[in-house]
Amino acid sequence: MNTPMDVLTSTVVTVPTRGQGFVDLTAEAQAFVDRSGLGEGMLTLFCRHTSASLTIQENADPSVRVDLITALARLAPEDGGWSHDTEGPDDMPAHIRTMLTAVSLQVPVLRARLALGAWQAIYLIEHRRRPHRREVVLQVTGLRR
């Protein structure tokens, strides 16, 4: 008879971005859960940057993501008169946008599947204009299937 065992495993994924916008990480996150053997538990994601962030948002209508980028630009515009401009005019607004969103997320795992809603996806948000390579730590904890 098999008994559930505790699972705790982590990995770091490198996410290439094409500049400002959203990168869908849902499939990669589910693949990590699959490889881990997790049946029930929690997936934690952590973005190791101060000018990129994570969110769970609608995955059906791409105009939602366009509007979200527009809203963040209105909240932290590049021409806001920021004193920190060492890395260019988009750097300080990127820091503010990261502060307004999140650098970590938790998603429950039920029966070895991410417990996302029908229209939800996990995204990395690149807040800088130019492409970057971002690191996201994925960690699962819980019971093996």
Closest by CA position to 83, among listed 66, 96, 74, 72? 96
User: Cα-flanking dihedrals φ and ψ of residue 69, to 5°?
Assistant: -60, -40
Return the domain boundaries, the chain. 6-144
* Count of positions (residues) in the chain: 145
Specify the CATH architecture of the domain 6-144.
Answer: Sandwich (2.60)
User: Which band of pLDDT confidence, cut at 50, 70 and 90, is reported for residue 5?
Assistant: confident
User: Cα-flanking dihedrals φ and ψ of residue 97, to 5°?
Assistant: -65, -35
Rounded to an integer, what distance in angstroms lies between the CA atom of residue 9 and that of residue 11?
7
DSSP 75: H
For 85-117, write each residue's pLDDT tens digit.
999 999 999 999 999 999 999 999 999 999 999
* Measured CA angle at 35 (ends 109, 23), to 5 deg: 70
User: Which band of pLDDT confidence, cut at 50, 70 and 90, is reported for residue 47?
Assistant: very high
pTM: 0.94
Print burial letters for 108-140: b (CB count within 10 Å at least 16), e (below 16): ebeebebebeeebbbbbbbbbeeebebebebbb
- Which amino acid would we find at residue 78? E
